[in-house]
């Protein structure tokens, strides 16, 4: 079979199964609203939970950072790409989250890949929640460690896996808030199991940081735990992009020596680090925005009266509406777009087969009237 024949067959299969993906050019994005092909839509698909992507002080900080440092870092952090702006952000993050060290990465995907592939190798064991992010599962397979997946949010399932000893190292991995279901991990129980079996716990809190806990410190703060490895990303509540790994001194030194994403990737622009420091200041003082987001979530859930669809059990900004069928999820997304609402359909393999959904995300930047418009459209939709 030729390369072209192979790809054409694969693409045809995706279209047939209604799992075809496509990028859409957004002409303008204010956070609350999008403009596509000249049309304006209320945006219920973003992860800008606190509306910080358009915050004047964050924008001003990036501009000032660009004026001071230029537009790029110019190299790897191991060469010339580690600046005072990066160092100050790492120090502030470690102080805020209560860890000796923080290391910056260009993305959450890169952070997960770097940590897992640097720490784990053949003969080791990774025990990951079954619904862990693709970056976690892919890195686990690349590491050559033995990957076992425990039942989603099930400490008892994890305990059964831990009962079988292994000669190598063991790393338990979960998310603080799961990106497709919006539910939260039982972190206290997972931390207890890790301690009982003398293994490490890693928590990816991409969707919890900024919106949960004291000053937005995230899911681990809510539960009063401190995993050996905490991953926080800046593409959600921070309103920017990038990520950081929080850990102890020895582990940070080890990553600096071995984490290939740190060694061989160009660092994030220093101006971005300046903007992230400004965003962190806003997050720490954003109790009012977090309360506004909480009220939006409660209001949406209280007034949801869907036909033939299931609202997932989530108290977070992620509010999945489970449709099941791939094609119907696309029809519902198109129906909402005709109503001026931007809500993308999520289908396998991003979610398990038979669980296609609309992944609705709420933001503190939304108004109640925005949510009313969404609810009116959803409550009036009937699956034919």
In a domain, 371, yes or no: yes
Domain ranges, residue 42: 21-50+287-379
In a domain, 162, yes or no: yes
* Boundary (domain end) residue, out of 284, 300, 330: 284
Residues 46 and 173 in one domain: no
- Sorted by sequence, the CB contacts under 8 Å of residue 382 that are 6+ apart come out as 307, 308
78 marked as binding residue: no
Query: Which contacts of 153-162 are long-range, i.e. CB under 8 A and separated by 24 or more positions?
Result: 153/129, 153/183, 153/185, 153/186, 155/186, 155/189, 155/190, 155/193, 158/127, 158/190, 158/193, 159/193, 161/127, 162/127, 162/193, 162/197, 162/199
DSSP state of 324: E
In a domain, 15, yes or no: no
pLDDT reported for residue 136: 96
133 marked as binding residue: yes
For 325-362, give the DSSP string.
-HHHHHHHHHHHHHTTEE--EE-TTSS-TT-EEEEEE-
Residues with catalytic roles: 47, 133, 175, 179, 204, 207, 236
CA atoms within 13 A on the CB side of 353: 1
pLDDT reported for residue 107: 97
Residues 256 and 352 in one domain: no
Residues 227 and 244 in one domain: yes
What digits encode the pLDDT tens for the residues 268-323? 999 999 999 999 999 999 999 999 999 999 999 999 988 788 999 999 999 999 99
pLDDT at 384 > cutoff 80? no
Mean pLDDT, range 4-21, rounded to an integer: 89
The closest alpha carbon to 312, from 182, 133, 185, 179, belongs to 182
The closest alpha carbon to 175, from 91, 97, 111, 117, belongs to 111
233 marked as binding residue: yes
What digits encode the pLDDT tens for the residues 13-57? 989 888 888 888 988 898 899 999 999 999 999 999 999 999 999
What digits encode the pLDDT tens for the residues 323-382? 988 998 899 999 999 999 999 999 998 899 998 999 999 999 999 999 999 999 998 877
CATH number at residue 324: 3.90.1150.10
pLDDT reported for residue 73: 94
Question: What does the alpha-carbon distance between residue 120 and residue 104 come to, in Å, rounded to a whole number?
Answer: 20
108 marked as binding residue: yes
Residues 144 and 274 in one domain: yes
How many domains, the chain?
2
pLDDT reported for residue 18: 83
What digits encode the pLDDT tens for the residues 183-210? 999 999 999 999 999 999 999 999 999 9
Residues 296 and 174 in one domain: no
Question: What does the alpha-carbon distance between residue 275 and residue 282 come to, in Å, rounded to a whole number?
Answer: 11
Residues 46 and 63 in one domain: no
Longest dimension (CA), the chain: 60
Cα separations in angstroms, 166 against 17, 119, 122, 149, 261: 41, 16, 12, 16, 28
What digits encode the pLDDT tens for the residues 61-107? 999 999 999 999 999 999 999 999 999 999 999 999 999 999 999 99
21 marked as binding residue: yes
């Amino acid at each position: 079979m030729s390369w072209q024949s192979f790809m054409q067959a694969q693409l045809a299969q995706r279209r047939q199964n209604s799992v075809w993906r496509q990028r859409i050019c957004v002409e303008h994005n204010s956070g609350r609203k999008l403009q596509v092909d000249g049309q304006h839509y209320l945006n219920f698909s973003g992860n800008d939970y606190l509306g910080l992507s358009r915050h004047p002080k964050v924008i001003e900080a990036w501009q000032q950072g660009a004026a001071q440092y230029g537009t790029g870092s110019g190299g790897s952090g191991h060469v010339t790409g580690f600046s005072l702006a990066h160092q100050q952000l790492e120090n502030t993050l470690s102080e805020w989250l209560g860890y000796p060290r923080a290391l910056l990465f260009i993305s959450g995907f890169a952070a997960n890949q770097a940590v897992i592939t640097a720490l784990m190798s053949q003969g080791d064991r990774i025990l990951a929640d079954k619904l862990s992010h693709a970056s976690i599962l892919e890195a686990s397979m690349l590491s050559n460690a033995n990957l076992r997946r425990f039942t989603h949010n099930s400490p008892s399932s994890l305990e059964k896996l831990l009962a079988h000893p292994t000669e190598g190292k063991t790393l338990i991995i979960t998310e603080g808030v799961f990106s497709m279901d919006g539910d939260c991990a039982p972190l206290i129980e997972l931390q207890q199991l890790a301690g009982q079996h003398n293994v490490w716990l890693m928590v990816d809190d991409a969707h919890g940081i900024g919106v949960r806990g004291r000053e937005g410190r995230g899911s681990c703060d809510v539960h009063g735990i401190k995993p050996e490895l905490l991953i926080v990303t800046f593409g959600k509540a921070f309103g920017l992009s990038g990520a950081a790994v929080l850990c102890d001194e020895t582990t940070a030194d080890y990553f600096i020596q071995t984490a290939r994403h740190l060694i061989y990737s160009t660092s994030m622009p220093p101006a971005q680090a300046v903007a992230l420091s400004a965003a962190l200041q806003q997050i720490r003082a954003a109790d009012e925005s977090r309360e506004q987001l909480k009220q939006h979530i409660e209001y949406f859930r209280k007034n949801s009266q869907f036909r033939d669809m299931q609202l997932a059990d989530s108290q977070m900004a992620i509010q999945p509406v489970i449709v099941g069928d791939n094609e119907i999820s696309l029809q519902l997304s198109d129906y909402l777009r005709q109503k001026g609402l931007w809500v993308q359909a999520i289908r396998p393999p991003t979610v398990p087969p038979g669980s296609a959904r609309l992944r609705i995300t709420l933001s503190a930047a939304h108004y109640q009237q925005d949510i009313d418009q969404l609810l009116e459209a959803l409550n009036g939709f009937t699956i034919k």
